[in-house]
Amino acid sequence: MAEVNLNQTIRCIVKLGGAAITCKNELEKINEENLETVSSHLREAMILESCSKKVIGMDWSKRAGVSDVSASLSDFGDQGQFNVDFSRFIVVHGAGSFGHFQASKSGVHKGGLNQPLVKAGFVATRISVTTLNLEIVRALAREGIPSIGMSPYACGWSTFERNVASADLSGVTKAVDSGFVPVLHGDAVLDHSLGCTILSGDVIIRHLAEHMKPEYVVFLTDVLGVYDRPPTDPNAVLLREIAVDEDGGWSVVKPKLESTNKQVEITVAAHDTTGGMVTKISEAAMIAKLGIDVYIVKAATTHSLRALSGELRRHIPDDWLGTIIRFSKEVGQVNSSPS
């Protein structure tokens, strides 16, 4: 695939983890509070210093429980002339409690589109994940972020044995060049070998990062970062920094683990059809290998706001909680800079 020709570089690609923005144990339920905070953080991180701070809402549609759709429109009387410039972000979100039920019930991730149950599950999965996509686009638009939903299947993404086989990135590029913030998501797609499969948000992020070379990538999750064992374990230690070498191998740089076994224990939730933490760390390592810093951080916290703002690229404060994954020519060398 050809490199994408961008007028300017992408500042940041953000993953909104499914677990952070949905209520994972309740079917198709959005974590409204988190989503609202994340949207507001994104606005704060994206907006350029010189601009008006006034929010110009861009969701003029009816909402359950909200009577007046035109309230946001009245702002244009005095604010419409001020252009708000947003720096170049791309948002990708996971599915959380949307899509997983439909996908796992039908086995869409295993392929076999000619089976009636799989075909029905493919349609049902896409309905569920596009419902979530629309709600996220709306939440961002209410914060004045000019968000544009781009559904990977419909935008020409397909896979071969679950790896990205085709992806028309020109639409994403044009949207960014036009001042929009594209919002992609994990999706059911056609697979040239299996018939169909699930393309996870993490794989999308890695593909976008490879071709669009953002300055940094942020994964917003529901825990503080990556731990050395399941975070529910009282002895779990938050890994502050992971170094990735040229071969994509990775090791924990900070904190110095007492155990000689530095292999991080990972858990894969049974219902997570796209692989959970294993996928996340290996995808993140692939991104870091390109010289792009990756921050894994808890959504809707001051830590995630700092990560989104890009300030960690210059200096990592001691009170910042999260996991940094970055390239190091010599693994083990602390605080190496990815140039």
Binding positions are 95-96, 100, 201, 222, 276, 280
- Minimum gap (Å) between residue 57 Cβ and a second copy: 8
Closest to a second copy by CB, 169 vs 253, is 169
Closest to a second copy by CB, 142 vs 326, is 142
Q: What is the DSSP string of 198-248?
A: EE-HHHHHHHHHHHH--SEEEEEESSSS-BSS-TTSTT--B--EEEE-TTS
- And the tokens for 205? 């992020």
- Minimum gap (Å) between residue 61 Cβ and a second copy: 5
- Minimum gap (Å) between residue 316 Cβ and a second copy: 35
Closest to a second copy by CB, 137 vs 296, is 137
Closest to a second copy by CB, 165 vs 238, is 165
> What residues contact 338, with CB distance under 8 A and at least 6 apart?
288, 291, 292, 293, 326, 327, 328
The CA distances from residue 93 to 75, 90, 124, 226, in Å, are 30, 10, 18, 19
The CA distances from residue 218 to 9, 58, 67, 124, 337, in Å, are 16, 24, 35, 29, 17
Residue set of the binding site for ATP: 96, 201, 222, 276, 280
- DSSP helix, strand, coil percent of the chain (3-state; round to 5): 35, 20, 45
Which residues form the interface with a second copy (CB under 8 A)? 27-28, 56-62, 64, 69, 73, 76, 79-84, 101-102, 105, 113-117, 119-124, 126-128, 130-131, 134, 137-138, 141, 144, 146-151, 153-156, 168, 170-171, 174, 178-180, 190
Residue set of the binding site for substrate: 95, 100
Closest to a second copy by CB, 72 vs 251, is 72
- Minimum gap (Å) between residue 71 Cβ and a second copy: 13
CA 262 to chain centre: 27
- Minimum gap (Å) between residue 203 Cβ and a second copy: 19
